[in-house]
Amino acid sequence: MGRILLVEDEESLRDVLSRYLEAHGHQCDFAEDGVIGVERVTAAPGLYDVIISDIEMPRMDGITFLRRVQPYIESITPFMILTAYDEWRYAMDAIRLGACNFLQKNPFDLAEIANAVEKALETREMYKLRMNHQEQLEAEVREKTQELQRTCDGTVMALAAMIEGKDTSTLRHLFRVREFCRMLARELGLPDKRLRELELGSMIHDIGKYSIPDAILTKPGSLTAEEWVEMRKHPENGRDFVRNIPFLKGAEEVVYCHHERYDGGGYPQGLAAEDIPITARIFSVVDAFDAIVSERCYKPARPASEAISELHRCSGTQFDPGVVEAFVRIIPAIEARRGDLDAMVQAQLVAMGLGRAEDRPAIRDRIAKSA
């Protein structure tokens, strides 16, 4: 049994039809014209199981009524039209707008109308069951996807920790950069898939350093020309590593291109401007900002105002000007979140546990063998 809205200006017809449908177990509400019908529907969206409307009515005809209420009714709600023979042209307009059936007023066949209502309700119930089943399946897929993503995130975090060893300041930097990248990507309107690739890449952008000798990575002084050649191989090494692991492949752009410069003076490819993937352009701005405002063992933290000045100074040379401007817009939000973010990062580090610095060569060996 269903709840039916009957929109009909002829009182006698409305009364006869409503009594007949109620005798068959349905509940009927009335509207004398389209204007009142719209008020009924918009006051309680999704309330009605079936809507039956005349076409020729004062103040608002049935076609206009149907157009007005479409945003407020379920897509599976049957909309049925009452029509006389001379109104068939309008009936076809109603069908094109989504009406599921049209019923003749002259002659007026109550049994036919009641039968049409029953069939419409059965169809609606079938669609509802199908939609509910589809929603349940989609919910299960979302749950499994989220579970898989959490597992992948744990692996990515572990990889980052392995590469950075015991340097918690660098790990904190990575976690902050990931969050800031997410905020900037949303400011720039990146789709979810690209945002996810950016998050992955930001955490393991330096994974290619697993193949760089420790003597170079930990050298206290300046690198020689030969050592710089070796160091600059890490983007390619990282690209080759992640592209062979399905759930890490999305990180490839950031891993391979995070040392490219907007003016074309970066490496390994010397890409410029729009040829540099947007994920890498976002990462380079965020990475530089957080490096400037963060305290390290070799330098004090600098204020955000100085970091912003540095980003503007390098805009158009090292950084994408559009990305810089977007990032500057969200800095107030970043500063407002900094305390909460630091607490979240600390909790993640505690939950992960950290390997000892002396374990790094052995860990790199294991990563290299798995690549």
Active site residues: 209
- For residue 298, what are the contacts with CB-CB under 8 A and spacing of at least 6? none
Q: Which is nearest to 82 in space by CA: 32, 2, 8? A: 8
Residue 355 and residue 165 in contact, taking contact as beta carbons nearer than 8 Å: yes
Q: Locate 164 and state its tokens.
A: 């950075």
d(CA 351, CA 41): 52
